[in-house]
Structure 1
Amino acid sequence: MLTLTNVAWLNLLCLAGVGVYLLLRVFSKKNPAPYPPGPAGLPLVGNVLDMPQIKPWLIFTEWGKKYGDISHVEVLGQHIMVVNSVKTAMDMLEKKSIVYSDRPVLPMTGELVGWKHALPLLSYGDRFRQYRKNFHRIIGSRAALGAYNPIEDIETRRFLKRVFETPDQLQEHVRHTAGAIILRISYGYEVKENDDPFVNLAGRALDQFSRSTNPGAFMVDFMPFLAKVPGWFPGAGFKRLAREWHEIVEEMVSAPYQFVKDQMVTDIRSFAIAAGIAPKSFVSDLLEGHTLTAEENDIARWSAVSIYGGGSDTSVSAIYSLFLAMTLFPDVQKKAQAEIDAVVGPDRLPSFADFNSLPYTEALAKEVLRWNVVAPIGFPHRVTEDDIHNGYYIPKDSVIIANIWSMLNDPETYANPSEFNPERFLANNGKKPEPEPRTICFGFGRRICPGLLLAEASVWLSAVRSLAVFDISKVVEDGVEITPKVDQLSQAGTIRHTPSHPKPFKCSIKARSAKAIVLIEQDANY
């Protein structure tokens, strides 16, 4: 008796999907304007072979040079527009934000694994606006964020001590500290020094997020109707995997949230949560003194996990890039240290109170965000209505990718963009500063990162304190000086939200003086 293999079943379903796609193409209406220019595609599959799988921002930049500010490709019926200029991104994603603020639907990641309620994948609507309202009230202004300055202070002190004791574990220390800061701000949870359960849980969940968004990994992302196939159906192993991953996501969302609730006093009759022993945090502020409906409770827990998921990994990338830059550009390091020494002196660590007195160090933190872009292509937007932009047709449901890397490395905007040069952001001898990277690197329009002030504060404090107490330089091995390469880990595909990190590198990190050692070894709870 002949039976179809799993692959054969999937092939039949895919052929059926292609057939439907061809029928739609045959009977589709005529476009009101041409699409933006782009690489010529193939029949049926369009530009599948043109889509870059490694460092897509570099290929997209070449498209920009060849085709202009907007490039168009079509992959199995999905229209994708790549934007390579700040002006076009602003015109589309800012000025027309009511149309350009939705997200693409990711069947595997969003629907099956369960990330659809996390802010990066959340559809534009009332729930999205409630998240933003929560973020703005608690971390959306410098005044509100000031309540969490003691957390930043304590954790960066602990970071300095870890780096001093085991500098060869720099990347691990950066990651641990970023997670510790975000977990304390989000949930009031103080992480364990080693093998923390919440840190490990989040690590597994974010790794699975990365794997589930890897383009081409799951056929359901190209053929969404496969999501309706029952789990027992031949070839539907992805559904069983999604169920396993969904359990991890649900635990990540629920466990730290429940930790906060367990430390607060609950009135069982009204479900109103009042102040208990829980330390101040994003969640405790949302819950304190409020009667929550089931929907509000769900919004609160997903708002909190969105802060952790979005904030921890991006801070890791930026701060690790700082140490790479200081290794490669010692003159910049010396200028920053000279400013810190003159303003702060050797007897205390810099603090947020010194921010306005350290303009060069502020510019250095800005250059960290520009020089090694954390999210080179950000996260795509989706168009909710047909649009004509600059004479080009942008059909409804098109995916819009902003090539942030290209914008922050445009030589017409940033002189010698490959150079790490904080002075580009300082007015000097009548020369105007170059444009702020914060208006680009944190996204556009209504999808701009709501935690940008927190990210900037974390990067600045880590930078100024590290430079105050450490000398960072190239490693010498067998008498040979090792120069790290500026290279980012490959980021596959075009719709992956995972930040891009510098590849691991070696550097020498030593205390600047005996007084610096005293500051490093102060009680981290000082």
Structure 2
Amino acid sequence: MEASKINSTAFPSSSATASAGVQLLEGTGFTQRWGIAVIILIVSSVVYHRLFTSAPLKPLPPGPKALPIIGNLHQHPTELQWKQYKAWHNQYGPLISLKLAGFNVIIIGSHKVANDLLDKRGLIYSTRPRMIYANECMTNGLQPGLQPYNDNWKRLHRIETVFLNPTALKSYSKFHELESCSLVHNLLTVGDDCSDIITKFTQGVAFTLALGKRMSPENEPEFLELGEFALRKSTGFHWAAFLVDIFPSMNCLPAPLAPWKRLGKQMFDEEIHLMGGVVKAALATGNWSWSEELMRQKEKEGISWNQVCYIVGELMFGAYLSSNATMHLLITTATLFPECIRKAQAQLDEVVGTDRLPSVADEDQLPYIVAFINETLRWRPVAPLGMLHAVSKDDEYMGYRIPKNSVIVTNQWGLERDDEVHKDPEAFRPERWIENPDLPLAGFGFGRRKCPGNKFSQRSLYMGLSRCLWAYDILPPAGFDRKAELLNIASKGGTFPSLAPPTKAVFKIRSPKHREVIKQSWLNIDRDENQMFADIGAKI
């Protein structure tokens, strides 16, 4: 109470000051009219000072004209957003802004802007926007990739990096060799629908490392259930989940009126059940695994059981989803550009020969294979909008204002069509990566939130594609419409990796010698997975 009295005495309100001023003026002979005139003059001078002597706010980046309240919602497409964003980039420049209800959305459309903001100013561009359904309802704030940039995220990121750093990646080589050998062996007897075989390959290494055991006929349903859940989690968003992110006040509604809350809880409970089963099954094997290592670190790192489940899930599903979408895309792309495949096979024949399969050790000598993968990721990014960022404080760039808490979208479709970086961007030309190995690639993100599993995914793609191209001519199926397929694969994706469509291609063995090498390689390959796990555990 005394403090309140002191403050009100020391700092009287503006109304109290004005009243006292009138009384003082009247008491010295001024009329009330003159007193009011003087006060108006004082107030006017204050307003003038604030309006005309303070620095004016810089404008937001340009963009389509917004309406009151809804902003640009009426102009925002519900599909193929990245193409409309690219059209706006062409009209307004590499940095544009939208208003979606009450949110400022800043969209990046060039590699230079992405590098300047997300890499060089990563300290303030590394957090995530509030995602009510995905981060709060569906994952209870436990999904590391969705968490804001803070000390907890840094700790979880450090834990995940242990399993994905160069030392760890090297220790996984035998499993990459084993799963890719299984891939080309299974393709010997496949028809033109190769989707299931490709999916099993892309699940293989990550699921094996999480579970402490490889897929077998006995546990195949378990692997397939996990893969189905991963796809459903990344693509099965309720329509209301998007509305509540745009209008956060809707989250105050009770659960019966908020379907995103019910669906989010169902997904959370299902993930804890599934991933809890993965961790328990991994511990029961007695082998080293991601799950076993995390449980050993649990007390030291101070992480909960549920957090362990979500870390294992992010490692598994992150590796699987990105690799699965891209591997299917690589096979489809191979059917579209046979001249590129002939160049890749010529290099494989020169470096590897016909007496053995390509190996991890050959990667540096097979630049065209790596270039083909990079060009596919550039030409048709599997997540064309990337992961959302947010800016944690007010910023300025290119003379424009970027307000605190703005949602930052990296339009990867637009970035990879930045003709300042990629000449003739619509052309599929792997040679560009050989001519300039330092070309930037947006597919794995930027700055401090760059995907920690990018090297793991690239290794899986290299092993799968190099062995498929060594062994087979990949041909289009009967009735193939090249123009329709080009359009089809340009219409997939979003923020998360796109759901891979059924991939159809004819795998024609290149020679009887290649067939025999595949059979002998599969017959003789090291399958002692218990020893492989022990070797990994000794190195990590």
Q: Same fold (TM over 0.5)?
A: yes
TM-score (norm 2): 0.80
Distance 2:240 2:222 in 1: 32
Larger of the two Rg values belongs to structure: 2
Matches within 5 A, 1:302-313: 302-313=310-321
1:451 Cα shift? 0.3
Counterpart in 1 of 2:513? Answer: 515
Counterpart in 2 of 1:485? Answer: 485
CA 1:130–1:281 in 2, change beyond 3 Å: closer, same or farther? same
Task: Give the aligned residue type for 1:260.
Answer: A
Matched position secondary structure for 2:419: coil
CA 1:254–1:202 in 2, change beyond 3 Å: closer, same or farther? farther
**Farther off after superposition, 346-355 or 480-489:** 480-489
Task: Give the aligned residue type for 2:77.
Answer: P
Distance 1:481 1:137 in 2: 45
Distance 2:179 2:171 in 1: 15
Matched position secondary structure for 1:79: strand
CA 1:469–1:437 in 2, change beyond 3 Å: closer, same or farther? farther
Distance 1:81 1:189 in 2: 45
**Is residue 385–residue 395 contact of structure 1 (8 Å, CA) maintained in 2?**
yes
Distance 2:242 2:496 in 1: 17
Counterpart in 1 of 2:155? Answer: 130
Distance 1:508 1:293 in 2: 49
Counterpart in 2 of 1:200? Answer: 225
Counterpart in 1 of 2:183? Answer: 159
The answer as to 2:139 corresponding to 1:114 is yes
Distance 2:163 2:94 in 1: 37
Matched position secondary structure for 2:160: helix
Matched position secondary structure for 1:441: coil
Distance 1:179 1:205 in 2: 11
1:418 Cα shift? 2.7
Counterpart in 2 of 1:343? Answer: 351
1:293 Cα shift? 6.0
1:299 Cα shift? 4.3
Distance 2:90 2:74 in 1: 20
Distance 2:481 2:123 in 1: 53
Number of aligned residues: 469
1:44 Cα shift? 1.4
CA 1:133–1:217 in 2, change beyond 3 Å: closer, same or farther? closer
1:491 Cα shift? 5.2
- 1:25-80 Cα offsets, whole Å, 9 max, x none, are xxxx9972211110111121111112221111111111111111111011110110
1:83 Cα shift? 0.4
CA 1:252–1:87 in 2, change beyond 3 Å: closer, same or farther? farther
Counterpart in 2 of 1:255? Answer: 277
1:435 Cα shift? 4.3
**Is residue 54–residue 491 contact of structure 1 (8 Å, CA) maintained in 2?**
no
How much identity, in percent, do the aligned residues show?
28
In the alignment, structure 1 segments of 5+ residues that lack a partner are 1-28, 264-276, 428-432
Counterpart in 2 of 1:319? Answer: 327
1:367 Cα shift? 1.8
**Farther off after superposition, 501-510 or 366-375:** 501-510
CA 1:489–1:65 in 2, change beyond 3 Å: closer, same or farther? closer
CA 1:187–1:85 in 2, change beyond 3 Å: closer, same or farther? same
TM-score (norm 1): 0.82
1:489 Cα shift? 7.0
1:298 Cα shift? 4.7
Distance 2:353 2:244 in 1: 59
Distance 2:372 2:325 in 1: 15
Matches within 5 A, 1:43-442: 43-114=68-139, 116-141=141-166, 143-193=167-217, 195-212=220-237, 217=241, 219-232=243-256, 235-263=257-285, 277-278=286-287, 280-288=288-296, 291-292=299-300, 295=303, 297-427=305-435, 433=436, 435-438=438-441, 440-442=442-444
Distance 1:246 1:305 in 2: 12
Matched position secondary structure for 2:123: coil
1:89 Cα shift? 0.8
**Is residue 421–residue 439 contact of structure 2 (8 Å, CA) maintained in 1?**
no
Task: Give the aligned residue type for 1:243.
Answer: K
Distance 1:376 1:489 in 2: 10
Matched position secondary structure for 2:125: coil
Distance 2:415 2:438 in 1: 11
Distance 1:306 1:86 in 2: 27
